[in-house]
């Protein structure tokens, strides 16, 4: 039997990259899936690729009214929720002296505020024993030049996995972090780095990771399936790192 048969799932930022690959695998494992995104063109593409079993909702995780609308849609479509993969995020790099308030706020609003309020707004819909997965990133315990704001947001997400796990445990809801390494997707195009700087950063990652290569979205998605399934039923407040060894060596 498929591992997610008859389970309901929401994936934020599910139209591209890791979120999209995870939606595919959730469907293959038998889940009913709802994904969110902001871009209409990407939503249409996802609808075509994922098929009729996946529900698509346009939502911006920075907007509490959008999250209220998302919660209402989940209630109407599913009645309740077994899996919540809080995946939407951005990462921008810049030297300390050039960072302004907007640069800082954009990342914290999506990566931290968006994560927190997505969980808060959907918490009442989570069934007892549900699984919440927060996309934290393997940089949550690292440091690198020009990554000060982005890395800090991911450290905050890792912290939220601990505190939300403690708070939701009374309902047997598990909250874990999933921390990918450098996975080439359109996410890297949003980093704000010149192509040559991005190439240099990628070379550093390859040299630092024991496996000596980048990951792929299709390699991260099985980790999300594991955390979503009953196979991880005694696992909470943990960080599942899938990064070719980058963070631990």
Report the catalytic residues. 150
- Please tell me the distance from the alpha carbon of residue 104 to that of residue 85, in angstroms, as a whole number: 24
Structure tokens at 23: 């939606």
CA distance 131 to 82: 6
Establish how many alpha carbons lie within 13 A of residue 85's alpha carbon, considering only the half-sphere containing its beta carbon.
33
Contact indicator for 181, 244 with CB cutoff of 8 Å: yes
For Cα atoms 124, 127, 128, give the angle at the middle one, nearest 5 degrees: 110
**Residue 77 contacts by C-beta under 8 Å, 6 or more apart in sequence?**
32, 34, 55
Interhelix angle 40-50/17-28, nearest 10 degrees? 30
Dihedral sign for Cα atoms in the order 189, 190, 194, 197: negative
Cβ pair 21, 54 in contact under 8 A? no
| Furthest C-alpha separation in the chain | 55
Check residue 74 and report its DSSP letter: H
In angstroms, rounded to a whole number, what is the distance separating the alpha carbons of residues 138 and 214? 12
| DSSP-derived 3-state class of residue 98 | helix
């Amino acid at each position: 039997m498929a591992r997610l048969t008859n389970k309901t799932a929401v994936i934020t930022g599910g139209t591209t990259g890791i979120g999209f690959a995870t939606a595919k695998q959730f469907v293959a494992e038998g889940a009913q899936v709802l994904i969110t995104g902001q871009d209409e063109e990407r939503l249409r593409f996802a609808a075509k690729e994922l098929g009729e079993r996946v529900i698509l909702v346009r939502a911006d995780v920075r907007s509490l009214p959008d999250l209220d609308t998302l919660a209402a849609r989940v209630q109407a479509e599913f009645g309740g929720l077994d899996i919540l993969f809080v995946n939407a995020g951005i990462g921008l790099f810049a030297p300390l002296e050039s960072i302004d308030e907007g640069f800082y706020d954009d990342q914290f609003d999506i990566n931290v505020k968006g994560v927190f309020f997505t969980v808060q707004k959907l918490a009442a819909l989570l069934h007892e024993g549900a699984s919440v997965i927060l996309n934290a990133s393997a940089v949550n315990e690292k440091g690198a030049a020009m990554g000060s704001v982005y890395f800090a947001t991911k450290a905050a997400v890792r912290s939220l996995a601990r505190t939300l796990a403690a708070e939701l445990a009374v309902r047997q809801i598990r909250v874990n972090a999933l921390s990918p390494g450098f996975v080439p997707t359109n996410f890297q195009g949003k980093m704000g780095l010149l192509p040559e700087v991005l190439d240099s950063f990628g070379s550093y990652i390859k040299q630092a990771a024991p496996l000596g290569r980048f990951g792929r979205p299709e390699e991260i998605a099985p980790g999300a399936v594991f955390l979503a399934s009953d196979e991880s039923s005694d696992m909470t407040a943990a960080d599942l790192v899938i990064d070719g060894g980058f963070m631990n060596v």
